[in-house]
Structure 1
Amino acid sequence: MRSPWTPAWIGTHGSYGRHADAVAAYQQALARYRDLGAQYNEADTLVRLGDTHQASGDTGAARDRWRDALAILTDLDHPNAEQVQGRLRDSDDNGFDVPSPAACR
């Protein structure tokens, strides 16, 4: 699940521990995708942003971004919604309810 327009170098920030730089770059990409109305790319970037938050130890922010992505992917009836739901389920250590794709519609 990789957006063709998301620069590959963004992910390298996170792999070198430069999570703040990666977050800033993903937020810029999000703004562009929203301006373009590119919903799939927006969702893909939200997933990557969530992954970056998770890697930096901010599970709450990760879950928020994954929920946003899940809502978009569900609206698009995209099969990647199940992968995002899995991320939410795997990160659920506080008893939060994980929304089903149908509940996001």
Structure 2
Amino acid sequence: MRVIKPAVYILASKRNGTLYIGVTGDLASRVSVHQQDLSDGFTRRYGMHILVHYEHFDTMPEAIAREKQLKKLLRSAKIALIETDNPDWRDLTSDVQAWRS
């Protein structure tokens, strides 16, 4: 049985490129939507398909609070957060897909 947890995530267009911070109840599905350009908007326009950071939470209000916190950070702090756990800016999509199974 698949367990779905709320998550905050950061997508990038490339290393040190344009960043997008979002929140979702189903990370694997949401990242798939972004990567397939199935939604119009910012991520599609700027080609943000690389999942570079994510955090899971027990509740959606916790995830939303964290999203708001991350959006207020300076760009340098966002990059530092990404590089703490993902210094090579590796696409983490396969990790999320494996977790989803």
Which TM-score applies when normalising by structure 1? 0.28
Which TM-score applies when normalising by structure 2? 0.28
The structure carrying a bigger strand percent of its residues is 2
Choose between structure 1 and 2 for higher RCO, CA contacts under 8 A separated by at least 6 residues. Answer: 2
The structure carrying a bigger helix percent of its residues is 1
